[in-house]
Structure 1
Amino acid sequence: MTDSAPASASPADGGPAVWLTLPEVAERLEVPVNKVNQMIRDHALLAVRRDGVLRVPSELVVNRTVLKHLPGVLTLLHDAGYNDEEALRWLYEPDETLPGKPADALSTGRATEVKRRAQALGF
């Protein structure tokens, strides 16, 4: 499997450093591509178009699974009216009070705080 990093996905702009195509995500999760598409439709996984291709930030898919709290956070963000691009921006916006970015905090003990903040966006 090859991790892709298109030119429009610079880590310097606060976004993900490495992107995966849907077939790469399917390979990593050991599921068919149509299952990955269903996960995206169900807001269990986030994908956005980069260079004309749907891509997923690689750090959201680790150890053959999607980050544990990601589906809940994505549901909260979509309920607050965020589209996928806005949700991506929110997840990768640096937040000194976490510290770091919400996407980074999801894989640490700060996932509950990330969910609380996402929920507060709806009010």
Structure 2
Amino acid sequence: MDYLERLRRLSMNAERMGEDDFVRFDLDSVPVVDPKTMALSRIAALVAMGGAEPSFGSLADAAVSAGATAVEIVDVLMGIMDIVGVPRAVAAAPQLAMALGHDLDEVTDEGGSTRGWRP
């Protein structure tokens, strides 16, 4: 199914469509966009919607599995901040950090001393 047909089907009233018309994409079935880009896009969408904490873990895992680095994930957060707003980015930062295995309650500054951090 080409992209115009997919857009046409998405624009229809969902009640008139069968379940088979909506195919849930997994990262391995995206026809054109590579899995890493799709995974990073999903993180951006989750941040924009103010998603739940468990979702950050699963999407960060999917992004890393698809080849994304922690730096790229943080770059996505920084890159969408002007669009989604600073409060959404601030709310997502500790959730993404935790999903990437970092606890921002204990942050080490450049001098090596540890200080508590609160959002």
TM-score by length of 2: 0.24
Which has more helix, going by share of residues? Answer: 2
Q: Which has the higher contact order (CA 8 A, sep 6+)?
A: 1
